[in-house]
Amino acid sequence: MSRPPSLVILLVLLFTASAQADDEPRKILIADPFIELHTGPGRGYPIFHVVERGREVYIVKRRTDWFQIRTDRGVEGWAPREQMIATLEPTGEPLDLQEPARENYMSRRWQGGVMAGDFGGASLISAFGGYAFSDNLSIELTVNHILGEFSNGYSATLGLMHVFVPEWRISPYFTLGTGVIYTEPKSTLVQAEDRDDQIGYVGGGLQFYLTRRFMLRSEYRNNVIFTSRDDNEEVDEWKYLGFAFFF
């Protein structure tokens, strides 16, 4: 039981090491009349330094929409994305921040996120990841944690997802797939046993492009659980709200 904390410490040390081993920072040219450096990566932090046009500065790192800049005199401060767009590469080309925006929303390939909802009356926590073959069609892996009053369970499904009009900001989709579900009755119940069953589903939902690389999603699935009993079981699955990002 004492293993997980030591593992975490090890991980933290590992990341410390990688955080130290930085590449040489990227050099850029200021093209705006001036850019303002804030003391922290946020709009409220005071401006303490100004770098004027034509000066070369280094981008040390980026956090959300803020860039840490180091001037040739060694002053370090944070500048917002809106000002960075107007800077140039040393070659004279505009700085390409290479970030997903509405324009390349269409060319997204990988997507992941979490959703929450209801699985036949039980609470549902769901994580998913997907890869898009084309603008419309993608394959998606979903892992569910089902937390009910009488039983808990996990399910993992693999399915196809078809987005009808991907260029719309709010666009509906259709999904179809199969997987496995593991059900574990609560320990307070007597005479109950764990079960492994196959599951198939058909469903639909909506995805809403929020901003930058983020999307909201809402989904319904009609599940059929192929039980070992005489009758199959049908379960409605509602994922009321989910958060997704693409890259």
User: According to CB under 8 A, which residues from 113 to 152 bind other proteins?
Assistant: 114, 116, 118, 122-123, 125, 136, 145, 147, 149, 152
Q: Using the rule CB under 8 A, which residue among 34, 131, 133, 240 binds other proteins?
A: 240
φ and ψ at residue 75, rounded to 5 degrees: -80, 130
Instruction: Reduce the DSSP state of residue 21 to 3 states and report it.
Output: coil
Q: Using the rule CB under 8 A, which residue among 160, 176, 182, 214 binds other proteins?
A: 214
Q: Residue 41: count other Cβ atoms within 10 Å of its Cβ.
A: 18
Q: Using the rule CB under 8 A, which residue among 91, 196, 230, 231 binds other proteins?
A: 91
Q: Does 22 bind other proteins (CB under 8 A)?
A: yes
Q: Does 26 bind other proteins (CB under 8 A)?
A: yes
| Number of chain residues interacting with other proteins (CB under 8 A) | 80
For residue 57, give both structure tokens: 């500065």
Q: Using the rule CB under 8 A, which residue among 30, 57, 67, 225 binds other proteins?
A: 67
The sign one gets for the Cα dihedral 97, 99, 103, 108 is: positive
Q: How far apart are CA 135 and CA 142, in angstroms?
A: 20
Q: How far apart are CA 76 and CA 48, in angstroms?
A: 10
Q: Using the rule CB under 8 A, which residue among 36, 180, 192, 220 binds other proteins?
A: 220
Could you say which residues in the range 161-200 bind other proteins, by CB under 8 A? 164-165, 167-168, 170-172, 174, 186-188
Residues in the chain: 247
